[in-house]
Amino acid sequence: MAYPDSLLSDGELVVVHKHPHWKTLVAPVLAFLLLVGAGLYLAGLVSDLSWHVAGWIGLGALGGLLVVWLSLVPLVRWRTTHFVVTTQRVMYREGVLSRSGIDIPMSRINSVRFQHGLIDRVFGCGTLVIESASDEPIEFDDIPHVEQVHSLLYREVNDNPDDDFYPHAGHQPRRS
């Protein structure tokens, strides 16, 4: 799903648009499977009782609430979290009912680094750390293909013609 063009400035293009890595959905999927299995087992136990209809209704209501809380909410949260690199800035948006976000202009980024442990390397994700003009570095966890995003973001920062460190980026030295 492309990031909405209406939220971009004139001439701004999306370079990378990512959701958190799918590994963040492993626990909600396992919770769903366990809840369904436990619900079916308990429904079988309740069916032998004289008040089985009320038991099924109670189990269904409790199971439904648990499925929404432990599986559906994390799925929607994952789907509504966006890490976007454009030609002008890095954007991070998250939230369902109340949204929050941060924008870091490319010209304000001082350094970009990544880190990932063994599990993250196996899954192909990691943490992207961006140091900008602010006091502390900002960490973005569970970025898929973090090394590629790091490399691409580094190129975007260094190719920026408005960068103070490269005032003559378009100027080629003359060869003698």
Summarize pLDDT for 59-85 with one digit per residue, the tens: 889 999 999 999 999 999 999 999 999
Q: What's the rounded Cα separation, in Å, for the pair 122 and 95?
A: 28
Q: 146: domain range?
A: 84-158
* pLDDT tens readout for residues 84-131: 999 999 999 998 889 999 999 998 898 999 999 999 999 999 999 999
Total domain count, the chain: 2
Model-level pTM? 0.78
Which CATH number is 129's domain given? 2.30.29
* β-sheet with 82-86: strand ranges across: 14-18, 82-86, 89-94, 100-105
Q: What's the rounded Cα separation, in Å, for the pair 66 and 164?
A: 53
